[in-house]
Amino acid sequence: MHAYRTHTCNQLRAEHKGETVRISGWVHRKRDHGGLLFVDLRDHYGLTQVVINTDNPLFAQFEKLKLENVISVTGEVVLRTPETQNAKLPTGQVEVRLKAYELLSAPVTDMLPLQVNTDEPYGEEVRLKYRFLDLRREVIHRNIVLRSDVVYSMRRRMVEQGFREFQTPILTASSPEGARDFLVPARLHPGKFYALPQAPQQFKQLLMMSGFDRYFQIAPCFRDEDARADRTPGEFYQLDVEMSFVTQDDVFAVMEQVIGGVFEEFSNFTGTKFSVSKPPFVRIPYDESMLKYGNDKPDLRNPLVIVDVTSVFGRDDVEFKAFKGVIAKGGVVRAIRAPKVSDRPRSFFDKLNSWAQGEGAPGLGYVVFEGKQGVEAGSVREAAINAMEAHGVKVDHVKQAERKWLDAKGPIAKFIPAEALQALIELCGVQAGDAVFFACDMVDKAALLAGKARTKIAEEMDIIEKDCFKFCWVVDYPMFEINDKTGKVDFSHNPFSMPQGGLKALETQDPLKIKATQYDCVANGLELCSGGIRNHMPEAMEKAFEIAGYPKGAVQEKFGGMYNAFKLGAPPHGGCAFGIDRIIMMLAKEPNIREVIAFPMNQQAEDLMMSAPSTAEPHQLRDVHIKIDLPKAAVKEQVKAAG
RNA sequence: GCGGGUGUAGCUCAGUUGGUUAGAGCGCUUCCCUGUCACGGAAGAGGCCGAGGGUUCAAGUCCCUUCACUCGCGCCA
């Protein structure tokens, strides 16, 4: 018999009746009846009930075993009587009648800092410090298994699509753009540092220039930035992808198969089947997204859309000064139609108004449209229209005209005369019983507020679709933007993206009008991926950096390897990178990223289990030529700690 | 760096308007219990109420400072 187990704790069934088996695992739970003791033995695979009574000389000893001890149990598989079977357990038809057992771990004598056999929510500090205990608990244990399965599925799907996985350096050079780098002192080069890669961006492009055609990597990425609920400090993983001789459409086609497939495969993980967008995913130009959704990561589960109605409030016959003043300064008015809310109590509108004030807006103006939609039922007009329709006469325009009958109500309705109202009705597609909310400000701020209002209104109305993953690609990002702080032109996203129109566009067009071949993949309002077709032409690269205000020669200096490669035969190429942690969060429906990472750091970027970061020994610092120069507050802290 | 929330038993939490001896569940200890499966029952141990200062006759409760955790902002090409 095997030293530890003949079966796992999820294997035994009625058919094993009478067999002598050995199972190993943790003491999950005890039910002690005095003369009869049940122990649930738990391993990775499941639970099996072990039973022993006072007839057995081992009873007294076995009874004393504490929870979470690791034991092996040898015994006979016994069929439970029908009334004692447990339908909730896969192994619930049988139990193991103990003949012998062995304690395999050092005996657990300390009080457990957290209990494994409950799903009670525990404080993160305890969970992270005793992560190995926490990870034994069912929910997070399953999440980590999901993570493994998802990563495997990604690898399999990528390989099926003809990709190969490559490793790229972890110790590399600091990148001039982007987030703060993690630095590693170079012992052999006093005063110099390696940096951990924020992403393998240049390496994957260089692999394309090395002729490998299709690259992917489950790539660790390191960025020294502060944490969020959906962002770990320090490190995270991407499904990093790059392909040669491709257009944007080729990248989309591959990733829709891979990511769509992964989501479909695991969409039932929580027990609620989620629907997944079918390829091809909707494509939304950046400008359209900013207008219709108020951000560049539209949540398509929300049916509301934003419409520009500046033209309505700019009319001479509209007297609403609050908006007119802003329009005169170059501002815009954005509108959100909320269907069928006219019967909502006043508090519905007041709540949204005070919400907007909390967002820093003067308020959230609105107009409610009431009255009869179209033709009055049972009227002579209706009979006439029906008769015309029955004879094949087109009556749409007649019905359309009836919309004029809608009455406008609400605080700002009186400033909008009938004709302007009609224009508003046309623009927004208003029907009887709808309300229209307004956000008025300069373009960027109005879009932002309208976007938040769109979400808020839909939440209040409870009309956001549930149980689905709605994907889209946001495309045509601007290549450049004005940097708020400096007021100068800067790259708006990735300097490696090919500007649409190439070098010619850079030379002839207004930089702020140039679009990049740059795209994001968005699901349910979360950015899952960013990518682009790369700029592989050295001249275009230099020109782009020149426009962004870099001195001549900056490209050679910052990206020497890449620049050389560009000049020595670079294929057109592009790709993207999906955030793996976030994908798993979505599939597991976990609001916190630490629930899908086995050993995460806390918000202060500390590993409470390993005690990282920690101080270094003087000889270690000497080796790497580092002298510590602490800020005053930290000095005090260390002195205090030292006693 | 800034703002919000939280901090009470090993763990998860309750604790009213400031009022006399700070509670519950789980876990732990001892005992009873031979068909439970979140077993049940009896008794018990366990507290610097995060720390420091203040107000008050009286502070877990109010005020200030500080620390820790957490959420958000900044940051994240």
Closest CA to the C1' of B39: that residue is A31
In tens, the pLDDT along A305-343 reads 999 999 999 998 888 888 999 999 999 999 999 999 988
Quote the CA–CA distance of A247 and A269 in Å, as a whole number: 34
In tens, the pLDDT along A404-428 reads 567 888 888 888 888 888 889 889 9
Contact between the CB of A493 and strand B at under 7 Å: yes
Residue A377 has pLDDT above 70, yes or no: no
Average pLDDT of chain A is 90
Burial label, A618 (beta-carbon count in 10 A; 0-12, 13-18, 19+): exposed
Q: Which residue would you say has higher pLDDT here, A467 or A395?
A: A467
Amino acid identity of residue A18, one-letter, is G
Closest CA to the C1' of B71: that residue is A229
In tens, the pLDDT along A143-163 reads 999 999 999 999 999 999 999
Q: Which residues in window 564-603 of A are less than 7 A from strand B by Cβ?
A: 592, 594, 602-603
Residue A558 has pLDDT above 80, yes or no: yes
pLDDT the model gives residue A385: 77
Residue A526 has pLDDT above 50, yes or no: yes
Q: Are A408 and A421 in contact (CB under 8 A)?
A: yes
First and final C-alpha spacing in chain A: 56
- CA A386 to C1' B7 (Å) is 71
Residue A643 has pLDDT above 50, yes or no: no
Residue A85 has pLDDT above 90, yes or no: yes
Contact between the CB of A395 and strand B at under 7 Å: no
Least confident range from A1-15, A99-113, A155-169: namely A99-113
On strand B, nucleotides with any atom < 7 Å from a protein CB are 1, 10-13, 25-29, 32-40, 68-77
Q: Are A209 and A569 in contact (CB under 8 A)?
A: yes
Contact between the CB of A617 and strand B at under 7 Å: no
Burial A536-575 (b: 16+ CB within 10 A, else e): bbbebbbbbbebbebeeebbeebbeebbebbeeebebbbb
Q: Report the alpha-carbon angle A428-A434-A440, nearest 5.
A: 55
Percent of chain A with pLDDT over 70: 95
Contact between the CB of A113 and strand B at under 7 Å: yes
Q: Are A197 and A170 in contact (CB under 8 A)?
A: yes
Quote the CA–CA distance of A449 and A453 in Å, as a whole number: 6
Contact between the CB of A128 and strand B at under 7 Å: yes
In tens, the pLDDT along A107-141 reads 887 778 888 998 888 888 889 999 999 999 999 99
Contact between the CB of A202 and strand B at under 7 Å: no
Average pLDDT over residues A359-380: 76
Q: CA dist A551 to A481, A542, A545, A555, A557, Å?
A: 18, 9, 8, 9, 10
pLDDT the model gives residue A178: 82
